[in-house]
Structure 1
Amino acid sequence: MSVADLSTPGEALGDAPVIVRTEGRLGRITLNRPRALNAIDHEMVMAMADALAEWSTDESVSAVLLDGAGERGLCAGGDLHKNGDAPLTPAFLRDEYHLNLQIAEFPKPFIALMDGIVMGGGIGVSAHASHRIVTERSKLAMPETRIGMVPDVGGSLLLNAAPGAIGRHLGLTSGQFDGADAIACGFADTTVASTHLVQLVEAVLIALDELDEPADAVAAAAAIDAAVANYAAPVPESTLMAQQHWIDRCYASDSVPQIVEALRESARGDGGQDAEAAASAILAVSPTAAVATLELLRRTQGVDLREALELEYRAMTALAEMPDAREGVRVLLVDRDTPRWSPAALEDVDADQVRALFERPAADGPLF
C-alpha cells in the first residue's frame, strides 16, 4: 500500500458513525460524527467492541489505531442527546464499560490519537490504550459532576493515579486540562504536533509492515515505540503540576465543604485566583455528584480497573434515576440556564444515601 492510499487522521470517511477498516497490518477505528464532536452512542460502542473482538485473534492485524473525524476532537463523551432526559441507560453504560476493559486488556498495541477534545467517554476509549498520544490542541476533562454524575469509564482510577490530590481537583471541579497536564497526570504518554499525525500514522504502518509475520505484540509495540519517538515533541510544563502545592493541601479532607473552605482560604494566599475558581466550580456542580465523586475516589484507591468500573456502574445507574442527572442534561442541552440542584447545598447532601450508591448492587446485576 502506498502512502497516497492512506486515510489521514481526522478525515471523514462516509456516513457510518464508526468507520472500521484495515490498512496494511493496522486495524483502524475512526469515530465519524464530527458535527457531534464524535460523541459515542450505543451503536458506536458495539461497533468498536465487535472490531476489537475480531482483531484480537486476527494474525494479519498487528495493532489498532483510534482517531476521530474532523479537527475538533477525538470524542466529547457519551451522546447525551439520545433517549430524551435519560440518555445514559444501564444497557449503554454496561456495554461502554465492557468496551473500556476490552481496550485496557487488548492483547495487541492500541494507539489512541487524543487530538482536540477528549472528555468523559472519550477518555474511556483512549486513556486505557497502550499508546496514548496528545497534541497541542488536546483538551481533556472528566466533566460528570456538571450533569449530576460521577467520573466513570475507569476515570476514577485514572484520577486516583494522578500526582497528589490533582485527581480530586479535576474530578470535583470537572476541570479541563491540556496535553502536558495529561502526560503529567498519567492520562497520556507522548505529545506529537497535530501537523505530524499523518506522518506518524504512515511511519507506524511502515514499521508494522517490516515485521516478520505473524508479529507478536512485543515486537509490534517496539516498532510503534520507535515510530512514535521519531515524532515526539518536547512536553511543555504542566500547569497543574505547578499548582500541586496548594491543590494537595486544599483537597486533603474527605469532606467536600471542608475542601471548598480550604480553597477559599488558599485563594487569599498561594492559591490565588486559581483556588477561588476551583471553589466556585465545585459550588456550581451538583452537590450530590460532588460528594459522590469524593466517595468514589476514596473507594477506588488501590483497586483494579474491573473493580473501579463495577463501583462506577453502581453509582452511575443509581444517579441516572435521581433528579440532578435530568437537571444536568436539561441545563446542558436544552435551556442552558442555572441548574436547580436537589439538594441545592453541599451541607444538605445525605451521606448515607451517597454511601448506598456504592454498596447496593446495580438493579440489573453485577457488571462483570
Structure 2
Amino acid sequence: MQDGEVIIEQRGTAGIIRLNRPRALNSLTLPMIRAITEALDGFAADAAVASVVVAGEGERGFCAGGDIRALHESAHAGDGLASAFWREEFRLNHQIAVYPKPYVALMDGITMGGGVGLSSHGRHRIVTERTRLAMPETGIGYVPDVGATWLLPKAPGEAGTWLGLTGLDIGAADAIHAGLADRQIAAARLGSVIEALSALPRGSASSDVDALLQGLAEPAGESRLKQNAAMIDRAFRFDSVEEILAALAGEEGDFAAETRRVLSTRSPTSLKLALALLRAGRRSASLAECLGRELGACLQMLDNPDFFEGIRAAVIDKDRNPKWSPASVEAVEPAMVERFLKPAEPPLSL
C-alpha cells in the first residue's frame, strides 16, 4: 500500500508502517487502526520480516492521537463509530504490547494520546530532539486512555501522575525518564535507522535491534521531571485532587506554580476520574485489565458534557475557553466519578 492514510511497505527484512495524514499530525481514524492491525498481522506471519518500524509522515508529528473531531461527531450522531474506534484502538495497543517481533516506534515530533499508545507499548521506543510527548486528555474533558493507566503508574515516583493530570507535553529526556521511551536518536538519522533495520538478517532478535539502535543513539540531556522529582513526589502522592492542589499551593518555585495553574484549567471531573484510573492502574495486574477499565470510562464519555465542551473549545470553535460542569474540583461528587467506572458492555475482547 503506497497511498491512503497508512503506507505499508517491506524494505529488506523491515516491515514499515507510515501514518500518512501529515496535515492532521497523523491523527488516527478507524480505517487507519484497521490498516495498522492488518499490517502487523501480516508482518508477524511473514518469515522474511525481522522487525517492524512505525513512523509518521511529515516533520511535525508522529501521531497527535485519535481524530477527536470525528469522535465528537460520532458521539453527537450516536452512530457507534466512537465505540468501535476505542475498542479496535485498544485491541491494537494490546497487540503492540505482546507483538512477537521487534517493534520499533520512531516518535519524532508530536506524540500524543493515541500516538503514545502506538509507540510506548512497543519494545523499542525512539525519541528525537523534536519529540513533544503528552497525554493531554484532561484538557478536553476526557481521560488518559490507550493503556496509559498501565504505563504512567510505572514511571518513577509520581511522574506519571503529574503527566496524566496536567496533560503537559514533555521532551525526549523526560519521556525516557518516565519510561515511555528508550533512547534518543537525532531526527536526521532516522533514515539510517530504517536502512540499518532493513539490512538485519531474518530471525534477528530484540537484542540485535537494541545493539543497532544504541549505536545510533545520542545523549538525551537533562530531564526536567527528574530535576523536579522531589516536589512532584511530595505533591502528587495523594489520592485526592484536592490534596494535590493544596500540597502544590504550599510548594515554592515556578515549576509548582505552573503545575497548579495548569491544573486549574483542566476539567475538574476529568482530573478526579484520571486520578482514580491511575491509582487503579497502579494496583492492576495487566495492561488488559487497564484497557478494559479505560474502555468502560470511554463509553460513559459519550454522555459527558465536559467531553463535548472540551472538544468544542479545542477543535470546533477553537476559543480555548471551555466551560466545565461542574466548574470546580470541590463540586465533583464521588458519584459523578463512579459512573465512569462501570465495566464496558460487552467487555473488551483481546
User: Which bracket does the TM-score occupy, shorter chain normalised?
Assistant: over 0.9
- Checking the alignment, whether the CA contact within 8 Å between 1:173 and 1:282 is kept in structure 2 is yes
Deviations 1:230-251 (A, max 9, x none): 1110121101000011111111
Residue in structure 2 matched with residue 320 of structure 1 by the alignment: 302
Match of 1:46 among 34, 50, 53: 34
Aligned equivalents of 2:309 and 2:73: distance in 1?
9
CA RMSD of aligned residues (A): 1.5
Aligned equivalents of 1:253 and 1:320: distance in 2?
29
AA aligned to 2:328 is: A
Worse-matched range after superposition: 67-76 or 192-201: 192-201
Count of residue correspondences: 343
- Secondary structure of 1:257's counterpart equals helix
- Checking the alignment, whether the CA contact within 8 Å between 2:292 and 2:343 is kept in structure 1 is no
Worse-matched range after superposition: 126-135 or 345-354: 345-354
Residue in structure 1 matched with residue 237 of structure 2 by the alignment: 252
- Checking the alignment, whether the CA contact within 8 Å between 1:204 and 1:223 is kept in structure 2 is no
Match of 1:111 among 99, 104, 116: 104
- Over 3 Å counting, the alpha-carbon distance change for 1:146 and 1:86 in structure 2 is farther
* 1:265-304 matches, cutoff 5 A: 265-266=250-251, 269=252, 272-303=253-284, 304=286
Q: Mind listing any 5+ residue stretches in structure 1 that lack a counterpart?
A: 1-12
Aligned equivalents of 2:242 and 2:236: distance in 1?
10
Residue in structure 2 matched with residue 336 of structure 1 by the alignment: 318
- Secondary structure of 1:89's counterpart equals helix
- Checking the alignment, whether the CA contact within 8 Å between 2:62 and 2:108 is kept in structure 1 is yes
* 1:2-17 matches, cutoff 5 A: 15-17=3-5
Residue in structure 2 matched with residue 66 of structure 1 by the alignment: 54
TM superposition shift of 1:148: 1.1
Q: Mind listing any 5+ residue stretches in structure 2 that lack a counterpart?
A: 76-80
Aligned equivalents of 1:67 and 1:349: distance in 2?
40
- Over 3 Å counting, the alpha-carbon distance change for 1:155 and 1:352 in structure 2 is same
TM superposition shift of 1:86: 4.2
Aligned equivalents of 2:340 and 2:72: distance in 1?
23
* 1:179-198 matches, cutoff 5 A: 179-198=172-191
**TM-score w.r.t. structure 2 length?**
0.95
Q: Using the aligned pairs only, state the percent identity.
A: 43
Residue in structure 2 matched with residue 9 of structure 1 by the alignment: none
Aligned equivalents of 1:332 and 1:361: distance in 2?
29
- Checking the alignment, whether the CA contact within 8 Å between 2:87 and 2:348 is kept in structure 1 is no
Aligned equivalents of 1:67 and 1:151: distance in 2?
22
1:232 is the counterpart of 2:217: yes
Aligned equivalents of 2:205 and 2:269: distance in 1?
45
**TM-score w.r.t. structure 1 length?**
0.90
TM superposition shift of 1:223: 2.3
- Over 3 Å counting, the alpha-carbon distance change for 1:135 and 1:184 in structure 2 is same
- Over 3 Å counting, the alpha-carbon distance change for 1:39 and 1:234 in structure 2 is same
Deviations 1:165-213 (A, max 9, x none): 111111111111111001111000010011111112212222x1xx2x5
Worse-matched range after superposition: 174-183 or 312-321: 312-321
Aligned equivalents of 1:128 and 1:241: distance in 2?
22
- Over 3 Å counting, the alpha-carbon distance change for 1:278 and 1:353 in structure 2 is same
Aligned equivalents of 1:38 and 1:342: distance in 2?
31
Aligned equivalents of 1:83 and 1:298: distance in 2?
26
Aligned equivalents of 1:354 and 1:194: distance in 2?
42
Aligned equivalents of 1:150 and 1:101: distance in 2?
18
Residue in structure 2 matched with residue 350 of structure 1 by the alignment: 333
Residue in structure 2 matched with residue 262 of structure 1 by the alignment: 247
1:221 is the counterpart of 2:206: yes
Deviations 1:318-366 (A, max 9, x none): 12321000001100012223111111110111212312322x2224444
Match of 1:144 among 132, 137, 150: 137
TM superposition shift of 1:264: 1.6
TM superposition shift of 1:225: 1.7
Match of 1:307 among 281, 289, 295: 289
